[in-house]
A and B are shown apart, each in its own frame.
Chain A
Amino acid sequence: MIDRYAGIAPKGDLMLLQRLGEIFRGRSFLHVNSTRAGGGVAEILQRMMPILEELGIDARWEVIEADDRFFDITKKIHNAIQGYGEKITEEMWRYYYEVNRSNAGRIDLGADAVFIHDPQPASLIEFRKRRGTWVWRCHIDVSNPVKEVCDHLMRYCEKYDATIFSVAKFTRAISVDEYIIPPSIDPLSEKNRELSDGEINEVLERFGIPGERPILLQVSRFDRFKDPIGVIKAYRMVKKYNDCILILAGSPATDDPEGEVVLNEVREYAAGDPDIFILLLPAFSDREINALQRSATVVLQKSLKEGFGLTVSEAMWKGKPVIGGATGGIPLQIVHGYTGFLVHTPEGAAFRIRQFLNNAAMVKRMGERGREHVRANFLITKQVRDYLSVWYILENKGKTVYEL
């Protein structure tokens, strides 16, 4: 399987992966998160497990089991951590802890390296086994949170051996090492592999989308932080100048109870416009998303708050021009004016869409640069390489240069 990345991922990444695989052959590596479907974390873990296994590492992925009450609480924690005022009562924290305690009894937490993803299972650290390197892998922005909520969560996080954040500005002053590793896309996955014209057209026909008109596309959960309403506003401004259709496509996630509410708001705002296609795709609609991205003229990720926004890299890998909100990990992917455009308002998005719709040379140029930017920085081979490097560094602490 690693061989399949030859010619796609940088050679050096593959060589270091093989070397790290030799070092960690037969060692156990556990990942724990809160959902098996929906959202970037689950997607990456799904693709990462076979790579780790092929390297000879005993990799395991566990998902915590919880009820709606738990996910309501963790959604509020998630919002508060990202700076949106939510109050978490003592009773809510107790319930949060109890659900993790019960999962600790169910999941075998014994492994040489244990990566716990995001706030939902963070308190599992209280139940760590004696052996193993424990890392809290945070995919969200904790730089400007509701203080009391963050302080409570950080009491758990500071018990880990280290933390990993996606972007430097997501970090905060805590007492454990903070590594910066961006998430990634898998170029060989169903979502990113090359598709034939026939495969793309089949998807468009199935959804009744006219392929001959310019397509604006945003793929994301129906979440207010992703600003789907702002995207519709931008589309309406563009529509006065250029013919186009808008597709808003997203999958529900089991750990996001607000999705349906936001979806209804979006449907209402679209007000029956026949050129707006709101697609609620089932989980694992990877080929459909791939086809939509490949058929798009312009791709948007107009988030107001964002963990990383991997849909940006997905679209850039397909050579598409991308317009993104200047937030979270999006500016790492979109180098403004070089691999796409960063915007702050629906007006800004509308202007950049019009630029792309009227300048094919710019679309091509930025699309090519975007693909190379993703190749160098945001492929899954690099992320696995970096996870294993951090594991190695934590087991051999004290140096700034390691020769393998």
Chain B
Amino acid sequence: MKGTEAESKVEKNRNSSFEFKQCVSILKSTAKRARDLRELREQISTVSEDSIFHHTCQYFLKGRVREYTNDFAQWTGETLEESALAEQLSNIDPYVFRNLSELRKALLSVIDDYLENFPEPKAAMPGEDFCFNETISVVFSAGIKAKNLAEFLVAIKYVDSASIYYHFYEARTRLGGKVDDFSRWFEDVLRERELAEKIRCIDPFMHSIEGIRTHIVEVVEEKVKRDMTVTGTGK
């Protein structure tokens, strides 16, 4: 979805060590706003794909688990107090769609269904409008490379959370499907398919970035320990 330049560099690195990168997001306003659900629907139908991306896929940049899993659901639930709709919007997984256009359609479909049944939603209080933003990503090297699992384990404990975000969350939109950079490297370079599968089983919605780090450390640590045991017993 985003970043062909970054994608080609990942491609080049497939046969080598894992280079930790990270990205920062520079926030930009679209100057579009919504005061109520109908305006939210209208704006979602026309706003840039970058804005849809920011309010859904980049939700995890906020650094902690909130009540809902995207900005649209959060605003609908907390500001408009339309909890049923917030739950439905929150249940949309942005990573299962082939592109942002499909994700946009899914968001609109849920809102349309809701408006059909509850046609008079209330407006937000003054100053509580939904502001549509988008971001520009600046990607840079974190200055760390790992040649094997043991080095990876040390590095993953050390890197900034922005690096985890880039390789675990942002990669899903960059590479497509449910694939992240970590599991891809485990599978393609280290030939550790089982480990890759375990990483892919971590539910991105249920954890903060630090929670994701903890899970990856657990899974990789277990594998490294097992390998050491096997080596130690001479098997």
Seen from chain A, the residues whose Cβ lies within 8 Å of a Cβ on chain B are: 10-13, 15-16, 19, 143-144, 165, 168-169, 171-174, 177-181, 327, 338, 376, 385-386, 389-390, 392-393, 399-404
Pick from B6, B27, B134, B135: contact of A403, CB under 8 Å: B6
Count residues on chain B whose CB falls below 8 Å from chain A CBs.
35
Interface pair A386/B26, CB less than 8 Å apart: yes
In angstroms, how far is the closest chain B Cβ from the Cβ of A16? 5
Pick from B3, B31, B137, B140: contact of A173, CB under 8 Å: B31
Interface of chain B, helix or strand or loop or mixed? strand
User: Is B155 an interface position by the 8 A CB rule?
Assistant: no
Indicate whether A15 sits within 8 Å of B143 (C-beta atoms), given known contacts A165-B29, A179-B26.
yes
Question: In the complex, what residues of A have CB within 8 A of residue B201's CB?
Answer: none
User: Is B133 an interface position by the 8 A CB rule?
Assistant: yes
Interface pair B138/A389, CB less than 8 Å apart: yes
Interface pair B31/A12, CB less than 8 Å apart: no
Interface pair B29/A404, CB less than 8 Å apart: no
Interface pair A12/B26, CB less than 8 Å apart: no
Question: In the complex, what residues of A have CB within 8 A of residue B27's CB?
Answer: 168, 179-181
Contact code string B57-92 (vs A, CB < 8 Å = 1, else 0): 000000110000000000000000000000000000
Interface pair A404/B138, CB less than 8 Å apart: yes
Seen from chain B, the residues whose Cβ lies within 8 Å of a Cβ on chain A are: 2-3, 5-6, 9, 22, 24, 26-29, 31, 50, 63-64, 126-127, 129, 131, 133-143, 159-163
Interface pairs A-B: 3 shortest CB-CB? A12-B160, A180-B27, A401-B3
What are 12 A-B pairs at a CB distance below 8 A?
A15-B142, A15-B143, A19-B140, A144-B127, A174-B31, A179-B28, A376-B63, A386-B24, A389-B136, A390-B26, A400-B2, A402-B139
Determine the distance from Cα of A327 to Cα of B128 in the docked complex, in whole angstroms.
Answer: 10
Determine the distance from Cα of A12 to Cα of B129 in the docked complex, in whole angstroms.
Answer: 32
Interface pair B29/A171, CB less than 8 Å apart: yes
In angstroms, how far is the closest chain B Cβ from the Cβ of A387? 10
Interface pair B142/A402, CB less than 8 Å apart: no
Determine the distance from Cα of A13 to Cα of B138 in the docked complex, in whole angstroms.
Answer: 11
Question: In the complex, what residues of B have CB within 8 A of residue A389's CB?
Answer: 24, 26, 136, 138
Interface pair B142/A401, CB less than 8 Å apart: no
Question: In the complex, what residues of A have CB within 8 A of residue B139's CB?
Answer: 401-404
Nearest A residue to B127 via CB reads A169
